[in-house]
Amino acid sequence: MNLSGEWLIYRDLAIALAAGLLIGLERGWAMRGERRGSRVAGIRTFGLIAGMGGLVALIAQSLNMVLAAILLAAMVTMLSVSYARTIHLPDGRSITNYVVALSTLCLGLLAGSGHPAVAMAGAAIVAALLSTRDRLHGFLRKLGSTDIKAAIRFAIIVLAVLPFLPDQAYGPYDALNPQQLWLVVVLVTGLSFAGYVANRIFGAAHGTIVTAVIGGAYSSTAVTASLAQSLRSEAANRRTLSAGIALASSVMYVRVLLLTFVLANFAFVTLALILLPAVVAAAISGLLMLRKRGATKADAQVETRNPIRLLPAFFFAATVAVMSMAAHWAEAKYGSSGIAYLVLIMGSFDVDAAIITLGTLTGGTISVHVAGFVLAMTVLANMIFKTGVVIVTAGWKSGRSASLSLVASSLILALAGLVSFVVLDIRF
């Protein structure tokens, strides 16, 4: 509906008042149990604060800027004095209400200045944030130092590094784009951080299996090592722990496919054809062990450490940068076969780095079938390594079920790779 002239003024003032009433509704409900006269501001006062902000903005635009400034200063002074008189008392108001009052005044100013949609959206966000007080406080009480460090470090990676990196090519073969390199670090660590958060929220409450499945999204190797340590000492939970190891590996396969689809999608189809049989095998073996155990929970806890560490993040970026330059050098000197061997060797140590390296190459640099096959073999190397971790850590007797599950998945992966190698006539 198009409005003009005087009707626009009415609309903006009405929305300013509505924004204040929305915030006042939440404040009034939150303080409904307090004795009469103890509240500095309620639903009516917050509505009037925002409405006053709208009027001040209108006066500044239409009448006199000095008068508007005087009125605004008077309003802020009045709020400050009101809260200052109660904040020192044992049952005095927290600083939150004072900040909310000033925010409401600002939203009223926004609405009166011709930005009613922004003002109403801001009021909704403020009210929603205030309504989650108990849940937020409960959430904070559950956090440990590791959780805080993880959140802060991820914020540094995303907000303090990424925006300041140049978005242009540097170095030999123009293989280095700092912003793009760090963006993939953000993607990989972000996936790890999301898995870590989900693990903290759901894992502790639902036992080993949920923890293992979620943990597999950010480090199936770490989950395997942790569960393998428990296998040796917890005979009653061995089937559940073994199922967790198998299911964590199946999630790892999915994670690799997801990263490949996002970063190196030209290799996705071939990689999916090779990995999917192994995904199914790992999932089935895990579910069968879980069914034989007759439970979906266990008291055993999977130790998961902070997945966001700054030094490894910088080292990972440096590794990807070196691999990117090496891949371009290998292409120039040896063609696509040089890239394939390089990615296969380096990917055996870090699958994510191999995926990212392929993603930095231009289309047609390497055959799609070769790229998918090479990535599948790097995953196979990771599976063999995890099998060794289980056998060495848990011992053959305790870790037999988990080891056999990993071996079966690895053999199916190797067989699928061999079939693809022959059928697709893959040549390095």
Quick one: DSSP state of residue 361? S
Neighbouring-strand partners of residue 170: 176
Is the Cβ–Cβ distance between 144 and 301 less than 8 Å? no
Digit-coded pLDDT (tens) for 54-108 = 888 888 888 888 888 888 898 888 888 877 766 665 544 567 777 888 888 898 8
d(CA 231, CA 145): 28
The mean pLDDT value for 29-56 works out to 73
If DSSP codes are grouped into helix, strand and coil, which group holds residue 176? strand
> What are the backbone dihedrals phi and psi of residue 184, each rounded to the nearest 5 degrees, phi first?
-75, -30
End-to-end Cα distance, the chain: 65
Place of tokens 């011992």: 395
Which tokens is 196 given? Answer: 């870590």
Digit-coded pLDDT (tens) for 190-209 = 766 766 676 666 655 455 67
- Where is pLDDT greater, at 349 or 321? 321
Of 285, 284, 215, which Cα lies nearest the Cα of 255?
215
pLDDT of 415 reads 93
If DSSP codes are grouped into helix, strand and coil, which group holds residue 200? helix
d(CA 210, CA 278): 20
Percent of the chain scoring above 70 in pLDDT: 71
Q: Hey, what's the torsion of the CAs at 145, 309, 165, 345, to 10 degrees?
A: -160
pLDDT of 359 reads 73
Query: Which has the minimum average pLDDT: 302-306, 371-375, 424-428?
Result: 302-306
At position 34, the amino acid (one-letter code) is: E
> Confidence band (pLDDT; 50, 70, 90) for 297?
very low
d(CA 390, CA 214): 19
pLDDT of 298 reads 43
Digit-coded pLDDT (tens) for 346-395 = 666 667 777 777 777 665 667 788 888 888 888 888 888 888 888 888 88
Helix intervals (H) in 264-367: 268-293, 310-334, 336-347, 351-359
Digit-coded pLDDT (tens) for 142-191 = 666 777 777 787 788 788 888 888 888 777 766 677 887 777 677 667 76
HSE at residue 258, side-chain half, CA atoms within 13 A, is 12
Place of tokens 């409904």: 32
Mean pLDDT, all residues of the chain = 76
> Confidence band (pLDDT; 50, 70, 90) for 1?
very low
Q: What is the pTM of this model?
A: 0.57
- Where is pLDDT greater, at 6 or 69? 69
Is the Cβ–Cβ distance between 300 and 243 less than 8 Å? no
> What are the backbone dihedrals phi and psi of residue 168, each rounded to the nearest 5 degrees, phi first?
-155, 160
Digit-coded pLDDT (tens) for 218-277 = 667 777 777 777 776 666 667 777 888 888 888 888 888 888 888 788 888 989 999 999
Place of tokens 């140049």: 166
The mean pLDDT value for 110-114 works out to 87
Place of tokens 């009707």: 7
d(CA 381, CA 350): 10
pLDDT of 400 reads 82
pLDDT of 215 reads 67
Write the CB contacts of 229 (distance below 8 Å, at least 6 apart in sequence): 393, 394
